[in-house]
């Protein structure tokens, strides 16, 4: 049977074990807590702040640092509980070399290390002892440094604890690297999308520029006869004004005309009426005004189509009827094509598809203009649409010069062009390919030299899920 | 890591050393060797031979002999034991300094030289093992703490002779010394578990120290200290003449100071009354200060016998997870050993029941160890165990 003395002794031993168990428990709780906190934080600085807080709760440290190799013989502080030491450089001394070999160790007095004088001067005044632990990273080894204001601030159990935490540090740094990479990738992707959008817009503008001459011609025609008609109408108005002036003489007078005066006036009216051929004027004025209205309507249509077509595409995804886009585009390019080809249009009713209308219109324009340019004298351009399984198909065929086998292999390469310098960017088909790809579709080409070329574009009703996410990213960019 | 212990009862120091060396593998020096034993066995010639085989040697005398897992090695003029630790991946260094008039400086310098010896002048060791002459241990330990801080356990014992006649001895650098603190700085490849214990119970009786000169306790609550102590112990000192050794009588009734009261547990630092003085004072083995409250403590023979085994077991449990014990160093208060006397084999038996590995136990005139509040102190009537573990 145990005596009170033995029980007391047992209690002492149990207390020693309990202290150790408590330390393990605290360590485990904080490890789990800090892992959770670290994984929840977004900014690298927050992650390290969380991690350093953990160390400060567990250990008697006043500063925490993460040092990473910067150049031979030197390490750089990449994270610190005290911002002033960020980017400070630390010489690699004998102690660091040992740590970099994989040992976690502590020094009881920093002033016992001659090389300590190489470390940041301001730190020498506030740190009496330090604990070091290697942190294995993907490409190199970093060092976690904890300092204490007290001599012998760290015990062996502290070293073991920190060694275990080094895994957490490595995890944190990997996390930071991953987040930075993710952020970098996101920035790159945004930049890429922007560059791509800029390129598409630039190419569209270049295409529109090519069309500008035709558009100007189409606008100038009605403008010409509108001006001419206006001039004629002005003459007619002047003529009628003479007649009206004659009438105003008696209408504005207070004097009652005599019978002779009335006869004389009527005679003058008849003379002027015949001289001016007022009947003709009435008919011609109505005709001129009708012509002008028609001309102005044509101009309005061209301007509206041009404005609609050249509008900067914001990447909006919407359910749309492809036929409408084709018709609009056709109206745009008709000025260019009508002198080169007969346009045969066979647009069958289509289901609406989820798409970026503006960008698809650019594809249609590019292909129709290419078709027109492939025709030397006068030919036929056939535009067809039809619903197919899972989507729709658009085909644009011309009876032009055709494309060689070598050319077929390269037509979608950026900057590939057979046009003269200054006439094409060489990006039209490349960008068209990219746009169709972004829609989850595909382009097929059949061509025979001197017989013509047919582009068939398949577009799905809905994009595949993987592309759908990308589409969303593009949409918000 | 491998630990070999061996004791010898040879009367000739040379033959004793030969017997100890016979247990060691040939051609392979231990990383650390600790020799302890009867001061009569400390012979320069014999120890020179030993240090030739064991260059990293810490050697100091122990009261009457030693104990190992094989039993007690005690006798009239005999009793020598060796602890040999082989740890190629660890690092161990020995240093020493003369205590003289500046024990604090000696503690500092000895530890500094031990760290320099192992080539780690700045690195925090796992443990500091030390031996020192009785008398100024508090200051010596304080000097070590000055250098290394409070986070490293400092464990050891005060070298002892057989009759408290000042014949205790250390062997350092080929010489026998009497006033050296000798320190080993330990950086083992495995782990270390240690426990430092005193199972004595405090009594309700207590008094304030009102007059003291170093370790000479003169008055308690304004009364001669011996009179107070005699009253508390119901006449333990009756009939004793001034100058009498009371060491064995007071073993079960030492004086204690409350040094740590945390987590519902109280820890007392014990002072062992060694001698009744002419001034009706008590000569202690530790220093006490005016204003400190001293409690009468109670112990029992049974706990002195069973305690060592429990301390060793606790130290084992404090090894790093997954590590198994390889061997141990034990420090057992010489006063306790003298009190237990013929029943010391039962102490060894209690240790062997809890700890089935090699160990070397020394009997000391003072013990240094790390308390539950992680403070290194010098005390009396303590038992400590340092267990070495490996995975």
Place of tokens 């107070």: B228
Helix (H) or strand (E) run with residue B359 in it: strand B359-364
pLDDT tens digits, one per residue of B42-51: 999 999 999 9
Does residue B56 surpass a pLDDT of 60? yes
Cβ–Cβ gap B124/A159 under 8 Å: yes
Q: CB of A398 within 8 A of CB of A371?
A: yes
Q: CB of A343 within 8 A of CB of A381?
A: yes
pLDDT at B254: 92
Nearest CA distance, A185 vs chain B (angstrom): 43
pLDDT at A21: 74
Place of tokens 């995804």: A317
pLDDT at A236: 87
Least confident of A45-54, A96-105, A292-301: A45-54
Which residues of chain B lie closer than 8 angstroms to A16, CB-CB?
A: 195, 314, 318, 372
Nearest CA distance, B317 vs chain A (angstrom): 8
Nearest to A16 among B192, B200, B372 (CB): B372
pLDDT at A476: 34
Which residues of chain A lie closer than 8 angstroms to B195, CB-CB?
A: 13, 16
How far is Cα A75 from Cα A96, in angstroms, rounded to an integer? Answer: 10
pLDDT band (50, 70, 90) for residue A190: confident
Q: Across residues B203-210, what is the average pLDDT?
A: 92
Nearest CA distance, A38 vs chain B (angstrom): 27
H-helix segments, A64-155: 94-100, 121-124
pLDDT band (50, 70, 90) for residue A312: very low
Nearest CA distance, A160 vs chain B (angstrom): 9
Least confident of A35-39, A231-235, A398-402, B366-370: A35-39
Question: Distances from the Cα of A462 to the Cαs of A222, A319, B116, in angstroms?
Answer: 43, 10, 76
Which residues of chain A lie closer than 8 angstroms to B108, CB-CB?
A: none
Which is more confidently placed, B259 or A197? B259
Which residues of chain B lie closer than 8 angstroms to A12, CB-CB?
A: 197-199, 265, 267, 372
CA atoms within 13 A on the CB side of A56: 14
Cβ–Cβ gap A8/B199 under 8 Å: yes
Structure tokens, A265: 């006036």
Residues in chain A whose beta carbon is closer than 8 A to a beta carbon of chain B? 3-6, 8-13, 15-20, 95, 105-110, 112-113, 129, 150-156, 158-160
A152: Cβ–Cβ under 8 A, 6 or more apart, which residues? Answer: A108, A109, A129, B124, B145, B148, B149, B150, B151, B152
The chain A residue lying nearest B151, using CA atoms, is A155
Which is more confidently placed, A149 or A190? A149
Nearest to A5 among B127, B267, B303 (CB): B303
Nearest CA distance, B318 vs chain A (angstrom): 7
pLDDT band (50, 70, 90) for residue A474: very low
How far is Cα A346 from Cα A394, in angstroms, rounded to an integer? Answer: 10
Question: Distances from the Cα of A62 to the Cαs of A45, A450, B373, in angstroms?
Answer: 18, 83, 21
How far is Cα A433 from Cα A417, in angstroms, rounded to an integer? Answer: 15
pLDDT at A1: 44
pLDDT at A473: 41
pLDDT band (50, 70, 90) for residue B216: very high
pLDDT band (50, 70, 90) for residue B8: very high
| DSSP 8-state code for residue B191 | E
pLDDT at A415: 61
The chain A residue lying nearest B313, using CA atoms, is A13
How far is Cα B345 from Cα B330, in angstroms, rounded to an integer? Answer: 15
ipTM: 0.81
How far is Cα A447 from Cα A429, in angstroms, rounded to an integer? Answer: 15
Which residues of chain B lie closer than 8 angstroms to A17, CB-CB?
A: 314, 317-318
Nearest to A6 among B148, B265, B306 (CB): B306
Q: CB of B325 within 8 A of CB of B357?
A: yes
H-helix segments, A108-155: 121-124
Does residue A229 surpass a pLDDT of 60? yes
Mean pLDDT, chain A, integer: 79
Nearest CA distance, B265 vs chain A (angstrom): 7
Model pTM? 0.64
How far is Cα A131 from Cα A61, in angstroms, rounded to an integer? Answer: 9
- Tell me what percent of the residues of chain B surpass a pLDDT of 70: 99
3-class DSSP state for residue B333?
Answer: strand
How far is Cα B14 from Cα B7, in angstroms, rounded to an integer? Answer: 13
State the sign of the Cα–Cα–Cα–Cα dihedral B41, B74, B133, B369.
positive
Cβ–Cβ gap B199/A6 under 8 Å: yes
Nearest to A16 among B148, B198, B314 (CB): B314
| Chain A interface test: which of B149, B313, B369, B379 (most A C-beta within 10 Å) | B149
Cβ–Cβ gap A5/B310 under 8 Å: no
pLDDT at A73: 82
H-helix segments, chain B: 13-22, 44-53, 103-117, 137-148, 225-232, 301-317, 334-340, 344-354
Which residues of chain A lie closer than 8 angstroms to B263, CB-CB?
A: 15, 18-19
Q: Across residues B367-381, what is the average pLDDT?
A: 88
- Tell me what percent of the residues of chain A surpass a pLDDT of 90: 13
Residue A242 CB coordination number (10 Å): 12
pLDDT at A118: 64
How far is Cα B380 from Cα B334, in angstroms, rounded to an integer? Answer: 9
Q: Across residues A8-15, what is the average pLDDT?
A: 70
Helix (H) or strand (E) run with residue A355 in it: strand A353-355
The chain A residue lying nearest B314, using CA atoms, is A13
Q: CB of A321 within 8 A of CB of A301?
A: no
Does residue B105 surpass a pLDDT of 90? yes
Q: Across residues B111-121, what is the average pLDDT?
A: 94
Which is more confidently placed, B146 or A299? B146
- Tell me what percent of the residues of chain A surpass a pLDDT of 70: 74
| Chain B interface test: which of A2, A15, A59 (most B C-beta within 10 Å) | A15
pLDDT tens digits, one per residue of A165-179: 776 666 666 766 676
Mean pLDDT, chain B, integer: 92
Least confident of A63-72, A121-130, A320-329: A121-130
Cβ–Cβ gap B124/A112 under 8 Å: no
Which is more confidently placed, A73 or A28? A73
Cβ–Cβ gap B314/A158 under 8 Å: no
Which residues of chain B lie closer than 8 angstroms to A18, CB-CB?
A: 263
pLDDT tens digits, one per residue of A447-473: 888 888 999 999 998 876 655 555 444
Residues in chain B whose beta carbon is closer than 8 A to a beta carbon of chain A? 121-124, 126-127, 145-152, 192, 195, 197-201, 263, 265, 267, 298-300, 302-303, 306-307, 310-311, 313-314, 317-318, 320, 372, 374
pLDDT tens digits, one per residue of A384-393: 999 999 899 9
How far is Cα B334 from Cα B207, in angstroms, rounded to an integer? Answer: 27
Cβ–Cβ gap A152/B149 under 8 Å: yes
| Chain B interface test: which of A7, A8, A107 (most B C-beta within 10 Å) | A8
How far is Cα A416 from Cα A408, in angstroms, rounded to an integer? Answer: 11
Nearest to A15 among B151, B265, B313 (CB): B265
Q: Across residues A345-351, what is the average pLDDT?
A: 94
Q: Across residues A293-321, what is the average pLDDT?
A: 74
Which residues of chain B lie closer than 8 angstroms to A130, CB-CB?
A: none
Helix (H) or strand (E) run with residue A469 in it: helix A465-476
Which is more confidently placed, A366 or B42? B42
Cβ–Cβ gap B147/A109 under 8 Å: yes
Nearest CA distance, A152 vs chain B (angstrom): 4
Cβ–Cβ gap A9/B195 under 8 Å: no
Q: CB of B124 within 8 A of CB of A154?
A: yes
How far is Cα A175 from Cα A181, in angstroms, rounded to an integer? Answer: 10
A358: Cβ–Cβ under 8 A, 6 or more apart, which residues? Answer: A311, A313, A314, A316
pLDDT at B264: 66
| Burial class for A312, CB neighbours closer than 10 Å (0-12, 13-18, 19+) | exposed
Q: Across residues A245-265, what is the average pLDDT?
A: 79
Which is more confidently placed, B308 or B84? B84
Does residue A350 surpass a pLDDT of 60? yes
Nearest to B195 among A16, A110, A150 (CB): A16
Which is more confidently placed, A123 or B286? B286
pLDDT at B148: 94
Nearest CA distance, A80 vs chain B (angstrom): 23
How far is Cα A211 from Cα A330, in angstroms, rounded to an integer? Answer: 12
Does residue A475 surpass a pLDDT of 50? no
CA atoms within 13 A on the CB side of A256: 2
pLDDT tens digits, one per residue of A114-156: 777 666 666 777 888 999 988 877 677 888 889 999 999 998 8
pLDDT at B328: 97
pLDDT tens digits, one per residue of A422-438: 555 566 788 888 889 88
pLDDT band (50, 70, 90) for residue A214: low
A302: Cβ–Cβ under 8 A, 6 or more apart, which residues? Answer: A215, A218, A219, A335
Which is more confidently placed, B261 or A266? A266
Cβ–Cβ gap B310/A108 under 8 Å: no
State the sign of the Cα–Cα–Cα–Cα dihedral A208, A210, A213, A214.
negative
Select from B235, B269, B240 the least CA-distant residue to B255. Answer: B269
pLDDT tens digits, one per residue of B233-250: 999 999 899 998 898 888
Which residues of chain B lie closer than 8 angstroms to A112, CB-CB?
A: 121-122
pLDDT tens digits, one per residue of B169-197: 999 988 999 999 999 999 999 999 998 88
Which residues of chain B lie closer than 8 angstroms to A20, CB-CB?
A: 318
Question: Distances from the Cα of A32 to the Cαs of A37, A158, A167, A360, A458, in angstroms?
Answer: 9, 18, 12, 52, 53
pLDDT at A56: 79
Cβ–Cβ gap A108/B152 under 8 Å: yes
* Pairing between β-strand B216-220 and β-strand B180-187 as defined by DSSP bridges: unpaired
Cβ–Cβ gap B122/A156 under 8 Å: no
- Tell me what percent of the residues of chain B surpass a pLDDT of 90: 74
pLDDT at B57: 95
Q: What is the CA radius of gyration of chain A?
A: 42
Select from A93, A216, A211, A222 the least CA-distant residue to A145. Answer: A93
Q: Across residues A19-44, what is the average pLDDT?
A: 68
Phi/psi of residue A147, each to 5°?
-120, 155
Question: Distances from the Cα of A457 to the Cαs of A317, A384, A451, B19, in angstroms?
Answer: 19, 10, 20, 98
| Chain B interface test: which of A18, A28, A58, A109 (most B C-beta within 10 Å) | A109
pLDDT at A202: 65
Q: Across residues A41-53, what is the average pLDDT?
A: 67
H helix and E strand count, chain B: 8, 26
């Amino acid at each position: 049977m145990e005596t009170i003395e033995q029980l007391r002794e047992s209690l002492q031993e149990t207390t020693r074990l309990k202290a150790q168990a408590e330390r393990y428990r605290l360590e485990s709780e904080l490890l789990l807590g800090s892992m959770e906190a670290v994984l929840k934080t977004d900014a690298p600085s927050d992650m390290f702040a969380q991690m350093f807080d953990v160390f400060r709760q567990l250990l008697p440290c006043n500063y925490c640092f993460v040092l990473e190799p910067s150049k031979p013989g030197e390490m750089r502080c990449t994270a610190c509980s005290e911002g002033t030491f960020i980017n400070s450089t630390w010489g690699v001394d004998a102690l660091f070399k040992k740590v970099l070999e994989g040992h976690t160790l502590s020094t009881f007095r920093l002033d016992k290390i001659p090389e300590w004088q190489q470390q940041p001067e301001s730190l020498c005044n506030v740190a009496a002892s330090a604990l070091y632990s290697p942190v294995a990273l993907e490409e190199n080894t970093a060092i976690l440094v904890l300092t204490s204001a007290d001599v012998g601030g760290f015990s062996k159990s502290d070293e073991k604890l920190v060694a275990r935490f080094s895994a957490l540090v490595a995890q944190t740094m990997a996390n930071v690297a991953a987040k930075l990479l993710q952020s970098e990738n996101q920035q790159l992707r945004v930049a890429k999308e922007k560059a791509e959008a800029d390129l598409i817009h630039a190419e569209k503008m270049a295409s529109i520029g090519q069309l500008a001459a035709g558009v100007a011609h189409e606008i100038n025609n009605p403008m010409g006869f509108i001006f001419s008609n206006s001039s004629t109408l002005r003459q007619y108005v002047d003529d009628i004004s003479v007649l009206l002036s004659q009438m105003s003489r008696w209408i504005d007078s207070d004097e009652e005309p005599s019978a002779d005066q009335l006869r004389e006036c009527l005679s003058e009216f008849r003379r002027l009426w015949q001289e001016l051929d007022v009947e003709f004027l009435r008919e011609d004025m109505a005709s001129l005004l009708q012509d002008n209205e028609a001309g102005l309507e044509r101009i309005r249509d061209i301007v509206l189509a041009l404005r609609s077509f050249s509008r900067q595409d914001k990447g909006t995804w919407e359910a749309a009827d492809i036929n409408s886009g084709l018709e609009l585009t056709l109206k745009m390019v008709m000025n260019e094509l009508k002198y080169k080809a007969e346009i045969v249009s066979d647009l069958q009713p289509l289901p609406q598809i989820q798409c970026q209308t503006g960008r698809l219109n650019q594809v249609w324009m590019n292909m129709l203009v290419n078709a027109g340019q492939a025709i030397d004298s006068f030919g036929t351009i056939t535009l067809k649409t039809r619903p197919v399984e899972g989507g729709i198909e658009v085909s644009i065929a011309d009876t032009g010069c055709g494309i060689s086998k070598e050319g077929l292999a390269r037509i979608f390469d950026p900057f590939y062009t057979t046009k003269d310098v200054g006439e094409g960017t060489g990006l039209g088909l490349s960008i068209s390919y990219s746009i169709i790809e972004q829609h989850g579709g595909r382009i097929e080409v059949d061509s025979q030299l001197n017989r013509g070329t047919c582009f068939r574009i398949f577009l799905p009703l809905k994009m595949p899920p993987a592309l759908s996410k990308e589409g969303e990213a593009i949409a918000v960019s | 890591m491998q630990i070999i212990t061996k004791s010898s009862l040879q009367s000739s120091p040379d033959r004793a050393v030969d017997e100890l060396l016979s247990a060691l593998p040939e051609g392979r020096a231990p990383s650390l060797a600790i020799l302890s034993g009867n001061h009569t066995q400390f012979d320069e010639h014999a120890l020179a031979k030993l240090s030739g085989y064991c260059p990293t040697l810490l050697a100091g005398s122990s009261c009457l002999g030693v104990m190992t897992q094989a039993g007690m090695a005690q006798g009239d003029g005999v009793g020598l034991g060796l602890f040999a630790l082989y740890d190629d991946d660890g690092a161990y260094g020995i240093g020493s300094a003369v205590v003289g008039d500046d024990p604090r400086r000696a503690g500092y310098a000895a530890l500094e030289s031990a760290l320099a010896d192992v080539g780690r002048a700045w690195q925090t060791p796992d443990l500091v093992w030390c031996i020192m002459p009785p008398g100024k241990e508090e200051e010596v330990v304080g000097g070590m703490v000055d250098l290394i801080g409070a986070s490293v356990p400092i464990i050891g014992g005060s070298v002892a002779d057989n009759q408290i006649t000042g014949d205790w001895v250390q062997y350092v650098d080929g010489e026998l010394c009497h006033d050296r603190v000798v320190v080993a700085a330990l950086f083992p490849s495995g782990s270390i578990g240690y426990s430092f214990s005193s199972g004595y119970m405090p009594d309700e009786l207590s008094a304030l120290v009102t007059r003291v000169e170093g370790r000479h306790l003169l008055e308690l609550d304004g009364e001669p200290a011996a009179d107070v102590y005699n009253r508390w112990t119901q006449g333990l000192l009756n009939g004793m003449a001034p100058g009498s050794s009371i060491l064995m009588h007071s073993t079960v009734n030492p004086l204690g100071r409350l040094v740590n009261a945390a987590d519902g547990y109280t820890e007392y630092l014990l002072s062992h009354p060694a001698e009744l003085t002419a001034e009706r004072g008590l000569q202690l083995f530790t220093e006490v200060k005016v204003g400190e409250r001293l409690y009468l403590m109670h112990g029992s023979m049974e706990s002195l016998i069973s305690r060592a085994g429990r301390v060793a077991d606790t130290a084992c449990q404090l090894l790093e997870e997954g590590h198994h014990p390889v061997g141990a160093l034990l420090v057992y208060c010489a006063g306790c050993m003298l009190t237990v006397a013929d029943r010391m084999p039962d102490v060894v038996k209690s240790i062997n029941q809890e700890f089935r590995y090699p160990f070397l136990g020394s009997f000391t005139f003072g013990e240094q160890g790390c308390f539950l509040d992680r403070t290194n102190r010098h005390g009396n009537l303590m038992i400590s165990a340092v267990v070495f573990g490996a995975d």
